[in-house]
C-alpha cells in the first residue's frame, strides 16, 4: 500500500499509528526522504511542522532562544490544548520544566540538577540494584510465563523513582495508575474519561497529592528528593506550591513510563534478535552500548514541540513566528544519514548519536538515572536467563507522546 506525504504527516498526530511500528516507520521514512519539514493540518489537532531529520531536530533544539517550549511543549488534541489554555488563564494547570523557557527554566532546572548528576546517580546504584534483583526474583516466583510489561517492567522504574522521592510504598499503585492515565491518555485501555474535563481531573488529582507532600516535607524535612524540592530556595524564596507540585509531577511521570517502555522494548528486541542476545550474554562489557541501542531502538518519547518566536529558515522552508514544530525522535533515531543500517538492532553499535533524550537546555534531566536503571536490570537478568521466547503477541500503546509495549507475554527459564 503506497502512502502519500499528506497521509504520512497525519500519522504523526494519530495515536494508533504509534501502535503499529511498520506503519509508523514507513510514514517517517517517506517524510525524511521527501518532505523533512512538512506542514501538517490533522483532524482534531492544531497544525504543526513535522520535523523528521536528525540534523533538523538538533538545529531546532540548539536554537532554544528562538524555538520555545511555551506555550505548546507537546502534541495534544486541540480540545485538550484549548482547555489547558483556559485553565492557565485562570492561573491553574501544570508549569513543569517542559513548559518553561529561560530565564525561569534555568533557575527551576537547577533545583533538581544536583540530585540527578551522573556522580550522584552512581552513588544510588546499590539501591537500584537491590530493586532490580527484587524484580528478577519476582519473574522467578511468577514461574515460567508472565506479561513482562504488566507484571515487571511498569513496576520497577516506578519503585526506583518513588523511593528516591521518598514516597510511601503504599501510595505506589495509585501513582502508577494516575501516571498511566495522564501519559497513556490516547489509549482506550488506559484512559479514565473521554472529555477534556475528565483528563483535567486526573491532573488535578496529581497536583493535590503532591501539594500535601510539599507541606509535609516543609514541616519535617528528610534527606529525600521530595525534601530537596519542597525546601529549595529560588531568589531566597521557596517554590510556590504550584511549582513544587509541578516538579514532582514531571519527575514522577517522566521517570517511569519512559524507562519501563525501554526495558520491555529492549527485552523484546533481544528476544527477536537471539544472535544479539547471545553476543551480549557472552560479552557483558557490551552492556553500556547495548543500553544505548535499546534506548535508540525503542525511543519511548515520541515527540516534543517548540514554537518559533520569530521567522526562521530551516532548509528550504521558512517557519513563521508563532508556528509550532513537532520534533519526531523516532524518526531522527532511524535517520539513514546518521545511523549505519538504522533498522538493524546492534548491541555493539558505536557511535550511537541517538536523540531519544533530546538535546540542549531541555536534555533529559533523568538520563543518567535511566541508563543505570536499564543497565542494572539487564545485568541482573541476563546471567540468570537460560531461555526466553514470546508466549503471545506483543502490543504497543496507542499514544502520540510517551509509550511502547503495553503487553509482552513471555516464556522463560531462569537459573
Binding interface with ligand HEM (CB under 6 A): 61, 97-98, 109, 161, 250-251, 254-255, 258-259, 262, 295, 300-301, 304, 329, 356-360, 362-366, 369-370
Checking 202-209 for CB contacts under 8 A at 24+ apart, the result is: 202/178, 203/93, 203/94, 205/178, 206/178, 206/182, 206/245, 206/249, 207/94, 207/242, 207/245, 207/246, 207/249, 209/171, 209/175, 209/178
In whole angstroms, the minimum distance from the beta carbon of 128 to ligand HEM comes to: 11
Q: How far is the CB of 113 from ligand HEM (least distance, A)?
A: 9
Q: Which is nearer to ligand HEM, 30 or 314 (CB)?
A: 314
The span from the CA of 136 to the CA of 152, in Å, is 8
> Before 310, cis peptide (omega within 30)?
no
Report the distance separating Cα 369 and Cα 259, nearest Å. Answer: 9
Closest C-alpha among 362, 398, 333, 320 to residue 47: 320
Please state whether 23 falls in left (phi above 0), alpha (psi between -120 and 50) or beta.
alpha
Phi, psi angles (nearest 5°) of residue 385: -85, 115
CA-only gyration radius of the chain, Å: 21
Residue 47: CB atoms within 10 A of its CB come to 14
Nearer to ligand HEM, 113 or 215 (CB): 113
**How far is Cα 113 from Cα 109, in angstroms, rounded to an integer?**
6
Q: In terms of CB distance, is 343 or 363 closer to ligand HEM? A: 363
Closer CB to ligand HEM, residue 68 or residue 97? 97
CA angle at 214 for the pair 210 and 218, rounded to the nearest 5°: 165
The least CB distance from residue 235 to ligand HEM, in Å, is 19
User: Cβ closer to ligand HEM: 3 or 234?
Assistant: 234
Q: Which is nearer to ligand HEM, 102 or 197 (CB)?
A: 102
Minimum CB distance to ligand HEM, residue 294 (Å): 8
CB of 55 to ligand HEM, least distance (A): 15
Least distance in Å: CB of 204 to ligand HEM? 21
CB of 352 to ligand HEM, least distance (A): 13
User: What is the maximum alpha-carbon separation in the chain?
Assistant: 62
Q: CB atoms < 10 A from the CB of 109, how many?
A: 18
Nearer to ligand HEM, 30 or 326 (CB): 326
Closer CB to ligand HEM, 210 or 329, in the complex: 329
Percentage helix, strand, coil for the chain under 3-state DSSP, each rounded to 5: 55, 15, 35
- Nearest approach, Cβ of 306 to ligand HEM (angstroms)? 8
Amino acid at each position: 500500500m503506497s502512502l502519500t506525504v499528506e497521509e504520512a504527516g497525519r500519522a504523526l498526530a494519530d495515536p494508533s499509528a504509534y501502535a503499529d511500528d511498520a506503519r509508523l516507520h514507513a510514514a517517517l521514512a517517506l517524510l525524511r526522504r521527501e518532505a523533512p519539514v512538512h506542514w501538517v493540518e490533522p483532524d482534531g489537532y492544531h497544525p504543526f511542522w513535522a520535523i523528521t531529520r536528525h540534523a533538523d531536530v538538533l538545529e531546532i533544539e540548539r536554537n532554544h532562544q528562538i524555538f520555545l517550549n511555551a506555550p505548546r511543549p507537546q502534541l495534544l488534541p486541540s480540545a485538550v490544548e484549548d482547555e489547558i489554555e483556559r485553565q492557565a488563564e485562570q492561573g491553574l494547570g501544570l508549569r513543569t520544566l517542559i513548559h518553561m523557557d529561560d530565564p525561569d527554566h534555568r533557575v527551576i532546572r537547577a533545583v533538581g540538577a544536583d540530585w540527578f548528576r551522573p556522580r550522584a546517580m552512581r552513588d544510588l546504584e546499590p539501591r537500584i540494584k537491590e530493586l532490580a534483583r527484587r524484580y528478577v526474583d519476582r519473574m522467578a516466583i511468577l514461574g515460567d510465563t508472565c506479561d513482562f510489561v504488566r507484571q515487571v517492567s511498569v513496576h520497577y522504574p516506578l519503585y526506583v523513582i518513588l523511593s528516591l522521592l521518598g514516597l510511601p510504598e503504599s501510595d505506589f499503585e495509585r501513582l502508577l495508575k494516575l501516571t498511566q492515565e495522564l501519559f497513556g491518555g490516547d489509549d482506550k485501555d488506559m484512559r479514565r474519561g473521554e472529555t477534556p474535563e475528565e483528563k483535567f481531573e486526573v491532573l488535578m488529582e496529581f497536583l493535590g497529592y503532591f501539594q500535601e507532600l510539599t507541606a509535609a516535607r516543609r514541616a519535617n524535612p528528610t534527606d529525600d528528593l521530595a525534601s530537596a524540592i519542597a525546601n529549595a530556595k529560588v531568589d531566597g524564596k521557596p517554590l510556590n506550591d504550584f511549582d513544587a507540585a509541578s516538579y514532582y509531577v514531571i519527575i514522577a511521570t517522566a521517570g517511569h513510563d519512559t524507562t519501563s517502555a525501554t526495558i520491555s522494548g529492549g527485552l523484546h528486541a533481544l528476544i527477536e534478535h537471539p544472535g544479539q542476545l547471545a553476543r551480549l550474554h557472552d560479552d557483558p562489557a557490551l552492556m553500556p552500548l547495548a543500553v544505548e541501542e535499546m534506548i535508540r531502538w525503542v525511543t519511548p518519547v515520541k515527540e516534543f514541540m517548540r514554537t518559533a518566536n520569530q521567522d526562521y529558515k530551516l532548509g528550504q522552508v521558512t517557519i513563521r513566528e508563532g508556528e509550532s514544530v513537532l520534533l519526531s525522535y523516532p524518526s531522527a533515531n532511524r535517520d539513514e544519514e546518521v545511523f549505519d543500517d538504522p533498522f538493524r538492532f546492534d548491541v555493539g553499535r558505536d557511535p550511537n548519536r541517538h536523540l531519544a533524550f533530546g538535546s540542549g537546555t531541555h536534555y533529559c534531566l533523568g538520563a543518567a538515572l535511566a541508563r543505570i536503571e536499564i543497565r542494572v536490570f539487564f545485568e541482573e537478568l541476563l546471567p540468570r536467563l537460560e531461555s526466553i521466547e514470546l508466549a503471545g503477541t506483543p502490543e504497543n500503546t496507542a499514544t502520540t507522546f510517551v509509550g511502547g509495549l503495553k503487553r509482552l507475554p513471555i516464556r522463560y527459564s531462569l537459573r
